[in-house]
Chains A and B, each alone.
Chain A
Amino acid sequence: MEKGRLFLEEKEVVNAKSIAERISKKVFDEIKDFSTTSIERGILRLLDVSGVNDDRVPIVNLFVDKLKKENLLSKGVLFILSNGLLKYPSLSSSQFVDAVLKDEIKLNGIEFFEKESVLKKVKELIQEAKEKILNKKRERERYLENYSPMEKPYFYVIVATGNIFEDAKQAASAGYLGADYIAIIRSTAQSLLDYVPYGLTTEGYGGTYATQENFRYVREKLDEVSFNIKKYVKLVNYSSGLCMPEISVLASIERLDLMVNDALYGILFRNINPLRTMIDQKFSRYILSLAGIPIVTGEDNLIKTVDSFEFYYTVIVSQLINEQLAKLSKMSENLIGLGHAFELDPNLENGFLYEVAQAQLVRELFPNSPIKYMPPTRYKTGNIFISYAMDTLFNIVSVLTNQEIVLLGMLTEALHTPFIQDRYLAIENAKYIRNNLKSISKEFLIRNGGLIEKRAKEVFKKAIEKLEEIENIGLFAALEEGYFSNVKRPKYEGRGFDGVFKKDKDYIEFEI
C-alpha cells in the first residue's frame, strides 16, 4: 500500500522525528569526548595493519594495548602513527607498528612534530584508507550495473553451519535458488570477544566466527554464483558486539553488502556497556556509510521476550531513535534499514490485520528506509506444516505493505539451524507470494476508521508518549530504567566499559 494510506497526521510524524532527533543529539553530546579501543583498532585495520602473533593475538590489539600501557592511547592511533611516520618516512604504518611491537622503536619519549605537519600526514593516511573503501564501493556498483536488477521485496536468508566451507556451499545454493541477501551467522559468543579472530574457521556455536578471511572466502564464492546467474548476490554479516567498529572496517574492505548494526541490541541482550557501544556505533555507521553499505537494525528482538502486542510500540520508538542516530553518523535514509517483525500470537483473533497495521505503519513512517522485516519465530513449534503456513501469511504481509528486505521464515525454525532444503522451500514460498500478489498493494485501500487504521494509530500514539518520556530523562537513563524489553542497563556497567577512554587535545578524528 502506498504512503499515506493510514491517514497519519503529517505534523505528528514530524513531531515524533524531532523528539527522536533531540534524544539522539543528547546521546551524541554525551559521547563526543570519547573513543574506544575497538575504534582505534578499526583505524589501524584501515591502514593495513593486520595479522596475529604466535599466540594468535591480533597485531592491532597488541599495538593498542601497548599505547594504553605507555599512556598514549588518549592521543589516538592517527596522531601516534603520523608522528612515527614523520620520524621514519621509509616505513609503512604496518612496518612502524611491527617495529614498535618488537621494541625496535620506543614509544616512550617519542617526539611529536608540529601540529600542521602532523595534520597533513593524518590527512594522507585517511585519504589512503578512504580510497580503499571507495574502491570496493565502486566494485560493487559495477557488479550491480552489469547484472540484472533485483526484485522487491528482497529475500534474505541465513546460513549457519558453523563451518565456513559448508557455509559457502549453502550460501551458493541459496543464491542460485533466488536469495538476494545471505547472512552468515557468526558464533554466538563472538559479540563478547574484544578481538576479531583470525583465519578461515570451522568451529563456533550456532555459526562460525566473522573473520576477514571468512568474509573474503564467502564473498568470492558468491561472486562466482552471481556470475553464473547474472544477478549480484549480496553478503550480510553482523557489525555488532565489542568489535563493532573493526567488523565494519573489514566489511568495507571485503565488499560485504549489508550489515546488522544496532547498539541497543548489544546493550539489552548482550549486556554491552551502553557508552562503549554507542561510541562504537557512531564510528561504525560513519565507515559503513562511506562504503555505501546499508545497515539493518534489530528491533525485532524487542518483542521476542515481552508481549508482542502490548509492547510493539517499543519497536517504533527504537526505530525513530535509530534513524536519527544514524543520520547524525552521516547516513542517508536509503542506508538506514530499520527492523521489525511479524511476531503476534497466532491465536490472536484478527492477528493478521494487526500485523498489516504494524507493518504499514513502519512503511509509512520511514518511506525511504530499506526496512528489514523479520518472520515469525517465537510461536513456532515442531509442527513444520503450520510453521510453513505462518511464513506464508508473513510473506503476504510483506508484499501487501511493500516491505523491502524480507528475512524468510524457515519451516524448521523451532528445530534447528536451517537445512539446505529448508532454505529452498522458504524461497519457493516467498517467490510464489511475490509473483502471485505482485500488484496487490495498489488494489486495496485501508478502510478509514477500521481495525487496521485504529491499531496503527494506537501504536504510534503510544510510541510518541514513550518518546516524550525518554526525552525528559535521556536515552541512557531510559535504558537504566528498563524502558526496552524490561531489561535494565546502567550507563557505567556492562561489558567493554574498560575500553572507553577520553580523547585528549592531540587526538585527531578519522571523521574529517
Chain B
Amino acid sequence: MKRKENFIKPYGDLPNDGMVQISFSLPLPLSNLSREAAKAIAREMNIVDEVIVFEKDLYENFSFFIIYGKFNKSIDISKIIAKEERIEKHDFYEVLKFGENVLKNKIKIIAATIGTDAHTVGLDSIINAKGYKGDPGLERYPFFEILNLGAQIPHEFLISKIHEFKPNVVLISQTVTQRNIHLKNLTYLVELLEAENIRDKVLLICGGFRITKELAHELGYDMGFGSDTYPADVAYYIINEFINKNLVNKWR
C-alpha cells in the first residue's frame, strides 16, 4: 500500500509546494521566442507555474534566465536505493595509533597528478605534512614512505617510477577538466598497469573534486576520494587495505 509520507517534493515555504529554482543560458537572443523556449525547457523538467524572475541579454546570440517554478511530481522514497552512508570518520591521532598497532612494515606510497593536469592543491593537501584544515597530511605518519612526483606526470614516466620504487599504494589525483579528459587519463593508467602486470601489486586510489567511490570502481580503481576528504580518511583506508589485501608481499 502506498504510504503518503513516502512521497516527497521539494520544500520551499510550505509542505509539498515543490518550489525549485533553475538558471541557464540559451544560445538565442533575448526575445519572446527565447523566453518561451526557456519556459518550455522548465516544463519539460516537470516544473510548472514557471516564472522567469530574471533575464538578461548576454550579447549577440545569448540570453540568461533565472526561473522559479513548482516540481509537479512526487518521489517515492521507499523505492530509492541509496548507497551506504559515508565511511566513519577518524582523526589523525586515532589513525596514527591504529597504524602503529597493526603495521609491521612501512607502506610505500607513490603519488602523482597524471597527464596534463597541473593542479596540485588536492594532492598537496592530502600528502603534505601540513595537511588540510588542521588534519595533518600522510607525510606526518611515520609508517608511510612517500614519493610525491607532483603535477603533469606522463603516464609512462609514472609506470617507470612504479617499477623502480615498488610501491604498495598508487595515489592519483585528477581535478576537473573539460570534456571528461580526467576520466580518460585515469582509465589509461589502469590499462598500462594491467599491460605491465603490476595492477595487482598495488592498491590503486584516485582522488579529485568530482571523483566518487562508485566512479573509481567503474574505472578500475580500488577506491576514489572526492571533495570533503581528509588525509586521515585516506590514511585509515590505506592501512586497512594494506592488511586485508596482504600488500606487503606483492613485489617479492
Residue positions of A touching B, CB distance < 8 A: 160-162, 169, 172-173, 175-177, 187-189, 192, 205-206, 225, 269-271, 304-307, 378, 381-382, 414-417, 419-421, 424, 486
Contact = CB atoms under 8 A, between A and B. Distances in A.
Contacts of A414: 209, 227
17 contacts: A169-B61, A172-B59, A173-B59, A173-B62, A175-B59, A176-B59, A177-B58, A188-B117, A192-B152, A205-B181, A225-B59, A304-B121, A414-B209, A415-B209, A416-B176, A419-B25, A424-B56
Interface string B101-115: 000000000000001
B58 to A, nearest CB: 5
Interface in B24-83: 24-25, 56, 58-62, 64
B177 A205 contact: yes
A98 to B, nearest CB: 34
A189 B116 contact: yes
B59 to A, nearest CB: 4
B204 interface: no
A485 to B, nearest CB: 10
A421 B23 contact: yes
A419 B25 CA distance: 9
B121 A381 contact: no
B179 interface: yes
A188 B64 contact: no
Interface of B: 23-25, 56, 58-62, 64, 115-118, 120-121, 124, 128, 130, 150-152, 176-179, 181, 209, 227
Given A176-B59, A420-B62, A269 B118 contact: yes
* Most chain A C-beta atoms within 10 Å of own C-beta, residue among B59, B62, B115: B59
A169 to B, nearest CB: 7
B87 to A, nearest CB: 20
A415 B152 CA distance: 20
A417 B178 CA distance: 8
B150 to A, nearest CB: 8
A145 B39 CA distance: 44
Nearest to B117: A188
Contact of A188 (B59, B61, B124, B177): B177
B130 A306 contact: yes
A420 B152 contact: no
B118 to A, nearest CB: 5
A41 to B, nearest CB: 23
Given A225-B59, A420-B58, A424-B56, A162 B179 contact: yes
Which 6 residue pairs of A and B lie closest in terms of their CB atoms, listed nearest first?
Answer: A176-B59, A189-B116, A173-B59, A421-B64, A188-B116, A173-B58
Contacts of B120: 269, 305
B173 to A, nearest CB: 13
A177 B59 CA distance: 8
A421 B58 contact: yes
B25 A420 contact: yes
A206 B178 contact: yes
Nearest to A205: B116
A163 to B, nearest CB: 10
* Most chain A C-beta atoms within 10 Å of own C-beta, residue among B117, B178, B209: B178
A420 B64 contact: yes
Contacts of A206: 116, 177-178
Contacts of A175: 59
Contacts of B61: 169
A417 B179 CA distance: 11
Nearest to A382: B227
A381 B130 contact: no
Contacts of A270: 118, 152
Contacts of B60: 169, 172-173, 176
Contacts of A162: 178-179
Contacts of B62: 169, 173, 420
A189 B114 CA distance: 12
Given A172-B60, A416-B176, 19 more contacts: A162-B178, A162-B179, A169-B61, A173-B59, A175-B59, A206-B178, A269-B118, A270-B152, A271-B150, A304-B121, A306-B130, A378-B121, A414-B227, A415-B176, A419-B25, A420-B58, A420-B62, A421-B58, A424-B64
Nearest to B60: A172
Contacts of A188: 116-118, 152, 177
B91 to A, nearest CB: 18
Nearest to B66: A421
Contacts of A382: 227
B24 A421 contact: yes
